[in-house]
């Protein structure tokens, strides 16, 4: 397993033609460039994470990396200035059209490197439809699950799923200069952490900004760079494993 990933945007069309005709695996990173992440992380947090993971994946796996898709389905955050969302159907059509645009030139295997949570159901529907109707192999990552079994006991927060100990630690590891370290906050409300369950209701309580005044759900004050590096040490092998599965699994 060696990495010779290629970023499509760096090629000319005639350089891309033989590469795509060879039926490579194609990776579509998805990460919001305009979505709130509390007072301490930039609106482009998901995009920074998607770009980072795509670059690390390119070092480890043979793939063609598409430009990061920076708009998606993020309805829970629109009350916070600067946050953007597409409607679910619009987002699904955009992803479908991007993948089919590339597919027409050869590739049949796609990995959607998804860094969101509300995006996941939409992406899974797109993947299911393309797999069933077009005979493609499209996989979708769940960022909240990658490497999780190896992280038992690492996080101290009692609840969290957004701009929290986990996400802030990741940012301290991959883009420390982007973290406003003097503005870390804790906001968990009354929602217990349930394994495998996201709590979007934390962002949907009443008018305005609802339950989360800061846009945080969790305890960012517990974040450290060391935790972020340990999360990455678990996450990256799991991501590579997922990519290798998509790259090598038999097509229907």
- Mean pLDDT computed over 62-69: 98
The structure's pTM equals 0.91
Residue 200 has pLDDT above 90, yes or no: no
Residue 190 has pLDDT above 80, yes or no: no
Whole-number pLDDT of residue 189:
65
- Mean pLDDT computed over 141-159: 90
Architecture per CATH, 7-248: 3-Layer(aba) Sandwich (3.40)
- Mean pLDDT computed over 197-217: 59
What percentage of the chain exceeds 70 in pLDDT?
Answer: 90
- Mean pLDDT computed over 57-76: 97
Whole-number pLDDT of residue 150:
86
Average pLDDT, the chain: 91
Residue 235 has pLDDT above 90, yes or no: yes
Task: Print the SS3 string covering the chain.
Answer: CCCCCEEHHHCCHHHHHHHHHCCCEEEEEECCCCCCECCCECCCHHHHHHHHHHHHHHHHCCCEECCCECCCCCHHHCCCCCCCCCCHHHHHHHHHHHHHHHHCCCCCEEEEEECCCCHHHHHHHHHHHHHHHHCCEEEECCCCCCCHHHHCCCCCCCCCCECCHHHHHHHHHHCHHHCCHHHCCEECCCCCCECCECCHHHHCCCCCCCCCCCCCEEEHHHCCHHHHHHHHHHHHHHHHHHHHHHHHCCCC
The pLDDT-based confidence of 2 (bands split at 50, 70, 90) is: low
């Amino acid at each position: 397993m060696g990495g010779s990933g290629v970023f499509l945007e760096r090629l000319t069309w005639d350089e891309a033609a033989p590469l795509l005709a060879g039926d490579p695996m194609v990776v579509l990173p998805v990460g919001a460039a305009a979505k709130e992440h509390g007072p301490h992380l930039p609106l482009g947090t998901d995009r920074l994470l998607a770009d980072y993971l795509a670059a690390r994946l390119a070092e480890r796996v043979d793939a063609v990396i598409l430009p990061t898709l920076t708009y998606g389905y993020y309805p829970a955050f629109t009350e916070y200035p600067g946050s953007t969302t597409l409607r679910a159907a619009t987002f699904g059509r955009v992803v479908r059209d991007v993948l089919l645009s590339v597919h027409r030139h050869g590739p049949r295997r796609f990995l959607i490197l998804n860094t969101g949570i509300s995006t996941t159901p939409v992406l899974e529907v797109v993947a299911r439809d393309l797999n069933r109707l077009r005979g493609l192999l499209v996989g979708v990552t769940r960022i909240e699950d990658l490497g999780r079994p190896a992280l038992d006991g690492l996080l101290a927060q009692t609840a969290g799923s957004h701009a929290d100990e986990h996400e802030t630690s990741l940012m301290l590891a991959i883009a420390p200069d982007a973290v406003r370290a003097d503005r870390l906050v804790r906001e968990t409300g009354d929602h217990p952490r349930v394994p495998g369950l996201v709590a979007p209701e934390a962002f949907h309580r009443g008018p305005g900004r609802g339950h989360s005044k800061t846009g945080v759900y969790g305890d960012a004050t517990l974040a450290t760079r060391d935790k972020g590096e340990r999360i990455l040490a678990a996450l990256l092998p799991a991501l590579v494993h997922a990519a290798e599965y998509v790259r090598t699994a038999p097509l229907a």
